[in-house]
Amino acid sequence: MSDESSAPEREMVRGIVDVLRYYGAMGIERFPFPVSNVKADGVSDSPDCHTATIDLDLTVREESALYVTQPSPSEKAKQLSALRDKIGDCARCKLSAGRTNIVFGEGNPDARLMFIGEGPGEDEDLQGRPFVGKAGVLLTRLIEKMELRREDVYIANIVKCRPPGNREPAQDETGSCRGFLEQQIEIIRPAVIMTLGNVALQTLMNNPALKISAVRGKLLEFKGHTVIPTFHPAYLLRNPADKWKTWADAQKALEKLHHGH
């Protein structure tokens, strides 16, 4: 890294050091190092202090420890593939006994918008892909109305195997899959997540009291990601008059994506 290209990073670190020294002077000591001993040149006042220094003459390795870099789309794709391999021929809950295929999820590994549904239906179970039945057609239309393509977003479900008769997944079943979904979110790092239906909302937010009727369209937060709940497309097939509400929710998602507020 050249001196010219590293100048903003150096200035940032200097600012961080100044802030830490200020907090140290105020008596705030809950830091991973005693900030009162840190000098702006990166040298500690105390020769016995081994955890308190910041070297402003950064090497590439040291810089990587200070800054969280965004993995490339290809790296994210590899991580998702590794997660799918980790799931394997899953038998962690009773849903595995009746499935045809595991429906892992699909789309852009670097998507800024992620949709999370409840679980696979019959068509999804047969094809091993999320939202490919009648509800999937409606979701695809919504995505296209948002001037996006399915390839631009990422689509997943709370559970990866079809519940018998398309019933709601039980708590032990969602519990078996929740960790995998959270890892998908962690890898993809979407700016906005749209949950589809009560089960997706309640499971992701770990709050069974939440109801779509009360919170749809509101901006929630999950581990730094904006969550916008809306109706499941299967509900809209039964209640087409409510499609405008989902479109209003989608517009809020677009506003968040485009403007960040």
Q: What is the pLDDT of residue 15?
A: 65
Closest CA to 233 of 243, 248, 223: 243
Sign of CA dihedral 155, 158, 161, 166: negative
**Sheet architecture: strand order including 106-107:** 106-107, 154-157, 113-117, 192-196, 225-230, 220-222
Model confidence at 209: pLDDT above 80: yes
Tell me if 77 sits within 8 A of 156, measured CB to CB.
no
Q: Which residue has the higher pLDDT, 233 or 39?
A: 233
Model confidence at 64: pLDDT above 50: no
The DSSP code sequence of 243-254 is HHHHHHHHHHHH
Q: What is the pLDDT of residue 260?
A: 75
As a whole number, mean pLDDT of residues 72-95 equals 97
Task: Tokens for 140, please give them.
Answer: 């695809």
Question: Helix or strand or coil: residue 184?
Answer: helix
Average pLDDT score, the chain: 84
Task: Tokens for 144, please give them.
Answer: 């296209």
pLDDT digits (tens, 9 = 90+) for 10-30: 566 556 656 665 555 555 545
Work out the pLDDT band at 1, boundaries 50, 70, 90.
very low
Model confidence at 158: pLDDT above 60: yes
Work out the pLDDT band at 38, boundaries 50, 70, 90.
very low
Work out the pLDDT band at 62, boundaries 50, 70, 90.
very low
Distance of alpha carbon 81 from alpha carbon 255, whole angstroms: 31
Q: What is the pLDDT of residue 61?
A: 38
Question: Helix or strand or coil: residue 227?
Answer: strand
Task: State the DSSP H helix or E strand holding residue 158, giving kind and residue range, or none if neither.
Answer: none
As a whole number, mean pLDDT of residues 149-159 equals 98
Task: Tokens for 257, please give them.
Answer: 């994506």
Domains of the chain: 3-66 (no CATH), 73-259 (3.40.470.10)
Phi, psi of 76 (to 5 degrees): -65, -40
Q: What is the pLDDT of residue 69?
A: 72
Which of 53-57, 104-108, 201-205 is least confident? 53-57
Q: What is the pLDDT of residue 50?
A: 45
Q: Which residue has the higher pLDDT, 237 or 52?
A: 237
